[in-house]
Structure 1
């Protein structure tokens, strides 16, 4: 034991500091960190009652086209917290960003998308608030969607979808087994988020794309159409449930690719 410790001590004492520094960097630098380049990076932001794995079918399609992709893991505790999580990822990107948000994350990218790196916004069945507007304001302006009737309040300030709600409303066009998995992996949403206000909507100055889910039972499809028109977004309508990113990943990826191509062409 003493001999082994002596050898380790000798190795550390005789190894040049420069090598130790480079070894430290090699151990801590993320292997997927984007290189410095002008090519757009796609940053994916998940919504309520979900996590980053909700993009699992879209990510490989984008990567197959040579597009760099990063994902945000939202805590879903407040708009400020989710925006902070998104900005941490944006800070790691060198070059232009196509910022994509699903569902509640539409509010997040609306607030976080004012970052100068963000050159395009893609909304997937998502909120797109005006100044001072909350998610609750948007939901309340339209007939109550079925998914709000299958919400479980844990009594501690967080909301979840019930298993049946996930099957019938949230992911109605996915196989039952897949919807049940989403029930297990869902991220609980702080009820207080429905009262969080957007300050400066990024879509007023950033070119936007919108994917409407025509069969959405979580957010009003009419609201989605109205928001897309309000933003003058390039709009695609899919015959999909709320989770088009899982039931129609090719179509969703194609819209994101279009946004990426548009950003690249502007250079």
Structure 2
């Protein structure tokens, strides 16, 4: 009888132990499926050419991190870099060229090294239907043709000048714009006949413009680096966003927009 009672006690103990193990296992699983832990406001300064893609990526990031609110400020990379070095509060900087990123890193305002996450290439944006029959960079020198370029300190302007030099073509623009969206807008409004812009910007505006490819653009491809900032008000969310931008889902969005993989 004593042996029977001992056996029953052992079985009961094992049953209780088993219940405890099951409870302990389920608790971490529930925690793993909850929010990532990042929260608060996140401010991202990004090149104007990233507008459409980053708006989509920002919404996806907020969906994955419901306690985070992302605010974007778009513009010419050189101007954004100056804002950062002048003390403007921001968490992340995404530039359209290593040269403008270098302004930030040289000033000691970057948190670690910047990472190239995509590349971009120029096209000639023309009025829908290409009424002027523009096919090459040399066509931009035709008498009476109005051309818009980005200012030289802006990445799209530096790339344009490099491509024009490679083609041995000298273009006298009627306007120099501070970012690629402004240059493209001149074409959309009919104020110029053509502009050198990124492939992604022309693709985003296919209802209003056509993008004319030209071979010299292959020698003027811009790398796009991204970095968290040293004085980031929300460093944990900043690091999470930079990691997300380099993830598969975000890269799919960027490639669909016309960017090239790094």
Q: Same fold judged by TM-score > 0.5?
A: no
Bigger CA radius of gyration: 2
TM-score where L is the length of structure 1: 0.35
Considering Cα pairs closer than 8 Å and 6+ residues apart, tell me whether 1 or 2 has the greater RCO: 2
Question: Larger strand proportion, structure 1 or 2?
Answer: 2
